[in-house]
Amino acid sequence: MHDASPLLLIQLTPPGRGAVAGLRIEGPGALDLVARYFVTRSGRPLADFPPGRIVVGLFGSRSFAGETPTLPEEVVLSRHSDAVIELHCHGGLAAVARIEEIFVGGGCRRISWQEWTANQAADPFSAAARLALAEARTTRTAAILLDQYRGALRQALEQIESSLQFGAKDVARQQIETLLAHASTGLHLIRPWQVVVAGQPNVGKSSLINAIAGYQRAIVHSTPGTTRDIVGVQTAMDSWPVELFDTAGLRETGEKSEQAGIDLARQKIFEADLIVLVFDNSLPWSEQDQVLIESYPTALSVHNKSDLPRATGQRSPGLEISALLSAGIDSLCHEIACRLVPHPPPLGAAVPFEPEHIEQIRGYLART
């Protein structure tokens, strides 16, 4: 059963060690509660300052009967109204905990910023978009979520409902198909696409991961079978969030620990949104190379080590790069982005970004 206290305490900044933490006290009596424990630097009562004025002072410098004295914290207050006050203090865990303890003891009910955000939104789609915005990894995905927060998805669903009510089923079906075309993109706005880099041992998979990441993330070694575990690195390609995975070389082996790494690689390949097959441009095309191409026909083929003399003979088409010299890396990243998002949503487009949205949209199909 929830506490019915009208006073709410919300931590607006992520918990943890930070330079500044933000707390919001909201509800009837917020000003009186804050003023009880806050002393302005000038000594003037907090109520004398008009709304919108920034006020600096000490919080917790007063103690009352039955209360344990605490060391005062220097804070900055922003009084929006008598019912809404934001307090900014040192971001350390202990400082925030002391201040929150005082507020809770004074009758505040602590709620998460997610619950508070959901209560502020005009509709559930805007609320979900606002929550997702906090996890957006790139400006491009944040811009799409901002469109949904401003009502793009809600308005699109209202248009579908209107079309169905007026019997315009063909129009509704087209509107539904337009939304579903962006579903895959929407589901990855806060969850990166998973791209697995695979191939035979020593073709330069780890070097390629490092070249894309821009730093030494994966272990590079000349010994075949060096990579045993799945190594992941998060990056962005054309401003889309991507997580790259370096995997063990795909080959037949009798060594148990290496075979375990290969099994992990194959499982990761099965789960991937895109497979990048890497081949050694300096070696002749082999039967094992052809088996990989045929096993993963939708993969993006990359011929690495273009800085070395090219082997003679026919080979499967693909991008030629040099991970060592970072040659062709930009083109490869662009091609990966195009494979993952072949038709990016235009500015202001409605984009479903949660599985529940897609289920709701598909539910409309039964009415067409």
CB within 8 Å of 274: residues ≥ 6 apart: 193, 194, 195, 196, 299, 300, 336, 339, 340
Cα dihedral across residues 292, 293, 294, 298: positive or negative: positive
3-class SS of residue 232: strand
Q: Which residue, chain included where needed, has tokens 């949904």?
A: 148
Tens of pLDDT along the chain (368 residues) come to 345 568 999 998 887 767 789 999 999 999 999 999 999 999 899 999 999 899 999 998 665 445 555 678 899 999 999 999 999 998 888 889 989 999 999 899 999 888 888 777 668 899 899 889 989 999 999 999 999 999 999 999 999 999 999 999 999 999 999 999 999 999 999 999 999 999 988 899 999 999 998 865 544 444 444 445 567 899 999 999 999 998 866 665 556 555 666 777 778 888 999 999 999 999 999 999 999 999 999 999 999 999 999 999 999 999 999 999 999 999 999 999 999 999 999 999 999 999 999 999 999 998 98
3-class SS of residue 125: helix
Domains and their CATH numbers in the chain: 8-120 (3.30.1360.120), 124-182+345-365 (no CATH), 193-340 (3.40.50.300)
DSSP string of 180-223, one letter each residue: HHTHHHHHTSSSPEEEEEEESTTSSHHHHHHHHHTS--S---SS
Q: Contact 10/24 with Cβ under 8 angstroms?
A: yes
Q: How far apart are CA 7 and CA 255, in angstroms?
A: 64
Beta bridge partners of 198: 277
Q: How far apart are CA 319 and CA 322, in angstroms?
A: 10
Beta 300-304 vs 274-280: how paired, if at all?
A: parallel
DSSP annotation of 172? H
Which residue type occupies 151?
Answer: G
CA 276 to chain centre: 23
DSSP string of 28-86, one letter each residue: TTHHHHHHHHEEETT---GGGSPTT-EEEEEES----TT------EEEEEEEEETTEEE
Beta bridge partners of 39: 58
For the entire predicted model, the pTM comes to 0.74
Q: Contact 120/26 with Cβ under 8 angstroms?
A: no
